[in-house]
Amino acid sequence: MTRDTPGSADLECLALCKQFDAFTAVDHVSFAVPSGSFFSILGPSGCGKTTIMRMIAGFLEPSSGDIRIKSKSVLDVPPNKRPVNMVFQHLALFPMMNIADNIGYGLRRQGMAKPEIGRKVDEALERIGLPGIGKRKVDELSGGQKQRVAIARCLVLEPDVLLLDEPLGALDLKLREHMKVELKALQAAFGTTFVYITHDQSEALVMSDQIAVMNHGRFEQVGSGRELYYRPETAFVAGFVGDSNRWKGRVTRAESGLLQITTQAGLQVTGADHGRGLATGDQAELFVRPEAIRISRQAEDLSHLENRMSGQVTTLLFNGADSRAILEPQTGGDPIEVALPQSGEYADLKRGDVLHFAWAGDQANAFAVNDQAAPSLEAQ
């Protein structure tokens, strides 16, 4: 967990807890978001991420812990006085006002003079690339335009922190992909600190400087997208971020971080515990990403890697750039999913073909079993 010195953090949460009767929605969560960065909280639905966001915005009171913005506690500050603004899941634009009045609402409430508001609103519309739409009604805009207006409505107030609650959830796939890039660009242009909540790992991975993976009210790991993807610290993170082949087994040999594991189905594999200290005899769970597995038609191409095997293609899952094949290892054991490079050489792959495959031992992440409840299939 990277932590800046308290002075440079725009938003800090300290041991934040929220209890609803007997249910603990948020359990001692602490984090700091450096000024000007894009911070995401990623987790399955019901993990408590929206509760954190509503506490930061001021709509919920924490059971214990502290929220500090620019090093000042805001617990006693009502939502309409907090230097924090929120982009709601369904945007919550005011349908009874036109676009300019929507964007100018917060400025009017600050008591700014009318000509000044007009100028600021025009400037904001310019910056989101929608000049001249101020007189239009909310329902005359497309989904993507509404999105940008909702963000502009918050950013004209120059908040210290902008909260975004799954704002892309209602958009269709193409637009969502487009808005990911655009949000990142808007954040860079305004230089505002963004705190973004999502259950969609790709949104978090693409946009964020830092991601917190959340489960059952706790942060499992905080790190950059790369750290979460390559070096998950818990089995939950390994299973939730990206896809994985996962096997349960027993450690038969442990040697300077590299483990020999025999899976329940009898597969012999090596993996790394990355300092989690697994020992011979431990029950372990092993995660190998389909894209970390190298495949080849010739066995000798893979001679420099551990975990060399060969297997028969049982299923081909064509999905464009993200195509996969499921292989049945010839030595027996669990089927293995591998990613198919789309550079042409596997375009004619058929069911029943035999492929050689292998992966480096340190690409396989091993975790001691029963340290965490593993996520179910809802992980995307």
Partner 1 sequence: MRAGNKLALILLLTPLLLWIGLLIIIPHIDMFLVSIRERVGVGKYQISLANYWTFLGEPLYLVTFARTAIMSVLATVLTLIIGFPVAFFIAKIAKGRLQSSLFLLCLVPFWVSELVRTFGWMILLRETGLISNLLQWLGLVDGPVELLYNDVAMIVGLVYTSMLFMVVPLVTTLESLDDSIIEAGYDLGGSTVSITREIIIPHAMPGIVSGSIVVFMLSLGNYLTPTMLGGKDSLWFTELIYSQFIVRFNWELGAAFGFMLLILSSAIIWLLLKLTGQTLEKTMT
CB of 85 to partner 1, least distance (A): 6
CA pair distance 106, 122, nearest whole angstrom: 15
> HSE on the CB side for 126, CA within 13 Å?
6
Query: Binding of partner 1 at residue 193 (CB under 8 A)?
Result: no
CB of 128 to partner 1, least distance (A): 17
Sequential DSSP letters for 92-143: ---TTSBHHHHHHHHHHHTT--HHHHHHHHHHHHHHTT-TT-TTSBGGGS-H
Among 2, 3, 71, 109, binds partner 1 (CB under 8 A): 109
CA pair distance 183, 338, nearest whole angstrom: 32
CB of 96 to partner 1, least distance (A): 4
Query: Binding of partner 1 at residue 105 (CB under 8 A)?
Result: yes
- CA proximity to 6, closest of 28, 32, 25: 32
Query: Binding of partner 1 at residue 135 (CB under 8 A)?
Result: no
Chain residues 136-155 in contact with partner 1, contact rule CB under 8 A: 153-154
Sequence-separated (6 or more) residues with CB below 8 Å from residue 368: 276, 278, 282, 283, 284, 285
CA pair distance 237, 252, nearest whole angstrom: 25
Would you say 227 and 209 are in contact if contact means Cβ atoms under 8 Å apart? no
Helix, strand, or coil (residue 67)? strand
What track of x and - describes contact with partner 1 for positions 23 through 62 (by CB under 8 A)? ----------------------------------xxx---
Among 1, 73, 94, 315, binds partner 1 (CB under 8 A): 94
Chain residues 153-172 in contact with partner 1, contact rule CB under 8 A: 153-154, 157
CB of 255 to partner 1, least distance (A): 56
Query: Binding of partner 1 at residue 110 (CB under 8 A)?
Result: yes
Residue at token pair 């515990």: 273
CA distances from 325 to 38, 55, 161 (A): 35, 44, 44
Query: Binding of partner 1 at residue 88 (CB under 8 A)?
Result: yes
CB of 84 to partner 1, least distance (A): 8
**Cβ closer to partner 1: 107 or 251?**
107
**Cβ closer to partner 1: 165 or 334?**
165
CB of 106 to partner 1, least distance (A): 4
List residues near partner 1 by CB under 8 A: 57-59, 78-81, 84-86, 88-90, 92-97, 105-106, 109-110, 153-154, 157
